Amino acid sequence: MRSPICWTVGLVVVALALLAVRAAARPYVRATSLIVRTAGLERQHPTLAGLQTDAVAERKDTVPSRFGPLRARLYTPKTHTEGALLLTPGINALGIDEPRLVAFARHLASSGFIVLTPELPDLSRYLITARSTDMIEDAALWFSNRSDLTRGHRIGLAGISFAGGLSMVAAGRPSLRGRLGFVFSFGGHANFQRVVRYLCSGTEPPAPGIDHAPPVPAPHDYGVAIVTLDLAEQLVPPEQVEPLKTGILTFLHASHLALFDQKTADQEFAHARAQEEAMAEPGRTFLHLVNVRDVQNLGPKLLPHLANLGDNAALSPDQSPAPDAPVFLLHGVEDNVVPAIETLRLAKHLEPYTTVHLLLTTLISHADVDRPATTSEVVNLIRFWAGMMN
């Protein structure tokens, strides 16, 4: 998670206020310190970054599930705990080893959370499946029963990107009733089918009862590439399915590497183009449209095949029972992978059943705190996190 220098003025104002009332505003101090660290501003604000922090112990672990053991990482504050959190990553090949997720988990643990990150194998293969929701449920149930790990804290359930929506579904299941302290969706969805159609068409249907929704941006090519991967069997002859999937996976891996290793990413992009050249039609055309990020021409080719993709209540919170714990929904206004109106729809769906805390912010793109900030936006983000940490 990154942030421009223009955060500085807002954070200085907040710092002065917090230092003046530090004892009375402990959750706000913790939230401010967490945001400074996750935004990469430790050097500019070392005092704020160090407030209410702890050393962190890390270890590899294994979590049981109905599908077999899941690889996991456990991050534990060494001296003082404020809560326990099951954190699931979004779609990427690195899963729980993704550098930004590891850093985020460490920052949360430094702020007092015992953090467990279970691996969801399908999400690591760029697949959004009902069994990932089952795995989140199983991991949360196991973690909530492990008082030796949670130190008696009721767990929070958190998911990033599409894992946010899946976590919301899992949180509403009977096995987790009365076990959760809160549920947190960071850039998540309300309805998976609707998001997939948005990625392929660039449009969202009307949202009755929701006023002042932010404009829906043009969809990101990364999301459309994932949809193409999931539909490969329906797009090309059987002998081209695996080569097409391999080429798309190469492109997706390169796109992810570009966030933190551009040199290696460029090599992977070149590899994806070479794979395209080696393919026959129609697979070559589909991989070419992925490689050149041509969402406008690729999306319409996918639309006729969407009916069989993800039409399952286990993937969509708005088709599932609501959690009985407070819900925290955070979304970037200009998100072009999962549009922000999805979180507005989710809040409207959940409000009759539980307490909902909602923040749409311009500070976030999709699942990164990486946009210019005003003082009021920084304060709103701190207030949101403080509510969850309290």
Please report, for residues 76, 194, 208, 269, 355, the alpha-carbon distance to residue 351 in angstroms, rounded to integers and kept in the order given. Answer: 33, 20, 15, 44, 6
Span(s) in the chain for CATH 3.40.50.1820 = 55-215+313-354
pLDDT tens digits for 307-336? 877 778 899 999 999 999 999 999 999 999
Instruction: Name which residue leads in pLDDT, 226 or 11.
Output: 226
Alpha-carbon distance of 175 to 279, in angstroms, equals 48
Q: Is the pLDDT of residue 211 over 80?
A: yes
Q: Tell me, what DSSP letter sits at residue 280? A: P
- Contact of 31 with 389, CB cutoff 8 Å: yes
Structure confidence at residue 4 (pLDDT) = 46
Q: Which of the four pLDDT bands, split at 50, 70 and 90, describes residue 3?
A: very low
Beta bridge partners of 159: 88, 185
User: Helix or strand or coil: residue 365?
Assistant: coil
Structure confidence at residue 5 (pLDDT) = 43
Determine which of 31-35, 54-58, 132-136 has the lowest per-residue pLDDT on average: 31-35
The pLDDT > 70 percentage for the chain reads: 91
Structure confidence at residue 11 (pLDDT) = 53
Tokens 């509403």 belong to 172
* Structural tokens at position 226: 């994932």
- Contact of 18 with 379, CB cutoff 8 Å: no
User: Helix or strand or coil: residue 118?
Assistant: strand
Structure confidence at residue 298 (pLDDT) = 97
Q: Is the pLDDT of residue 202 over 60?
A: yes
Alpha-carbon distance of 168 to 76, in angstroms, equals 24
Please report, for residues 26, 225, 287, 291, the alpha-carbon distance to residue 250 in angstroms, rounded to integers and kept in the order given. Answer: 45, 11, 10, 10
Q: Identify residue 330 by its one-letter amino acid code.
A: L
Q: Identify residue 189 by its one-letter amino acid code.
A: H
Sign of the dihedral defined by the CA atoms of residues 380, 381, 382, 387, in that order = positive
Structure confidence at residue 134 (pLDDT) = 98
Instruction: Name which residue leads in pLDDT, 42 or 177.
Output: 177
pTM beyond 0.85:
yes
pLDDT tens digits for 232-281? 999 999 999 999 999 999 999 999 889 888 999 999 999 999 999 999 99
Structure confidence at residue 67 (pLDDT) = 97
Tokens 């989710």 belong to 346
Tokens 């069994």 belong to 131
Q: Identify residue 303 by its one-letter amino acid code.
A: L
Q: How buried is 6 (Cβ within 10 angstroms: 0-12 exposed, 13-18 middle, 19+ buried)?
A: exposed
Mean pLDDT of 145-171: 96
Alpha-carbon distance of 63 to 43, in angstroms, equals 36
- What topology does CATH give the domain 55-215+313-354? Rossmann fold (3.40.50)
The pLDDT > 90 percentage for the chain reads: 72
Alpha-carbon distance of 207 to 35, in angstroms, equals 32
User: Helix or strand or coil: residue 130?
Assistant: helix
Mean pLDDT of 6-35: 64
- Contact of 231 with 302, CB cutoff 8 Å: yes
Alpha carbons within 13 angstroms on the beta-carbon side of residue 25 total 18
Structure confidence at residue 49 (pLDDT) = 72
Structure confidence at residue 186 (pLDDT) = 96
Alpha-carbon distance of 64 to 83, in angstroms, equals 22
pLDDT tens digits for 371-384? 566 778 888 998 99
Radius of gyration over alpha carbons of the chain, in Å? 21
Mean pLDDT of 139-148: 97
Q: Give the chain's mean pLDDT.
A: 90
Q: Is the pLDDT of residue 2 over 50?
A: no
Cis ω for the linkage preceding 214 (within 30 of 0): no
Please report, for residues 141, 172, 329, the alpha-carbon distance to residue 384 in angstroms, rounded to integers and kept in the order given. Answer: 26, 22, 9
Residue whose C-alpha is closest to residue 228's, from 245, 250, 253, 204:
245
